[in-house]
Structure 1
């Protein structure tokens, strides 16, 4: 997560590899996404992939969202280990372009939408999503990689202090690594143990 002054961020992008969720006795949900805003304010524009385990079955799909509206599914296929690329960029006043590309399957989704958030934070996130205003139980997503992260088309030079863990029922359930050598990549792992950083 990067934080700055109002209207500091005009674009965010990055790659990630869709994780394979581990089967479990209970339903679990996970969202991997990039976005502008959402930290410390109610605004957010985002796009990403969903990796869920529901009713004994793994479910994978792509989506985009601008709060407070609910997510909109993208009707293209997503599978574990697919290489995804996402970019959100300001085109002109209040007009933003959302791009999500599945490099493995060869499809690209584009949408221009109105967005009036403050553009004060930029995020690359793996988390348990909220459904009906309630945070869900995080799916066991094992480990995933965000790489070639960019803000305003530049290396964000990620810092260890910008990491965020996820806690559910008093237990750490998701932990990022330190940034990689170029400071534009990191792993996120299920559980409380930080993974080693990317090389």
Structure 2
């Protein structure tokens, strides 16, 4: 059984309100991997993980060179909890021990809604950047592997009119997965899932084709037997909705 490794370990210690252990569809739980420290701006922490910590679609069964998707930036309700929800696109991570990814945190840890874009080459830690993001914006993320372990990771907010592009190398990458995901984020324990309005991924393409054209795994975010966010069916092979259910 292949170990599934989570992509994100962030030192959001103030956000840690409760441990989150996801129910897995695999017979055995995944192991928590020790993160690296090279080039990080945020210290890393282990956490318990299994595949249902990721809500969304993961492509598997081949080698992939690119993933791209567009998603809306929903309003957050930070009155009920101080959790985080983090949508992103990436390569690897499902059947490999690295993840090359870019996305944004929907952050309620201070009690007010904040949107924080980031890039990560796991097992290195996330690096945040400061471009403005607001509820109602349209965000597009993409990750491309040139076949030689060099990755181009791009995030665009078409509403605010900015684009950030990163070129990064990761020798241990394999590009055996491609995914569009939302997940809770945290340090040693994962905090509650921030309450967000419906999140819609559209134009989810893998190597230029709808993600539904390849083998995919659909997962919801769960805690034990509690579903925290549901993942809808693919529409047109390239769009789906993630809906918050529980903190």
On whether the aligned pair clears a TM of 0.5, the verdict is yes
Q: TM-score if structure 2 supplies the norm length?
A: 0.71
Aligned residues: 188
Please provide the CA RMSD for this pair.
1.8
Deviation at 1:158, TM superposition (A): 5.9
* SS of aligned partner of 1:24: coil
Structure that is richer in strand per residue: 1
Contact residue 68 and residue 142 of structure 2 kept, 8 A = yes
Relative contact order, higher structure (CA 8 A, sep 6+): 2
Tell me which of 121, 128, 133 is aligned to 2:177.
121
Match of 1:83 in 2: 138
* CA distance 1:133–1:10, shift in 2 (3 Å): farther
Deviation at 1:159, TM superposition (A): 8.0
Match of 1:195 in 2: none
Match of 1:197 in 2: none
Correspondence 1:190 to 2:244: yes
Within a 5 Å distance, the mapping from 1:147-162 to structure 2 comes to 147-157=202-212, 162=217
Correspondence 1:56 to 2:103: no
* SS of aligned partner of 1:157: helix
Tell me which of 161, 164, 167 is aligned to 2:219.
164
Deviation at 1:166, TM superposition (A): 1.0
* SS of aligned partner of 1:69: coil
Structure 2: gaps spanning 5 or more residues: 1-57
Match of 2:164 in 1: 109
Match of 1:4 in 2: 61
CA distance in 1, matches of 2:174, 2:219: 21
Segment of structure 1 superposing worse, 161-170 or 52-61: 161-170
Q: TM-score if structure 1 supplies the norm length?
A: 0.88
* CA distance 1:128–1:158, shift in 2 (3 Å): farther
* SS of aligned partner of 2:146: strand
Deviation at 1:43, TM superposition (A): 0.8
Correspondence 1:27 to 2:74: no
Correspondence 1:46 to 2:101: yes
* SS of aligned partner of 2:113: strand
Match of 1:137 in 2: 192
* CA distance 1:152–1:44, shift in 2 (3 Å): same
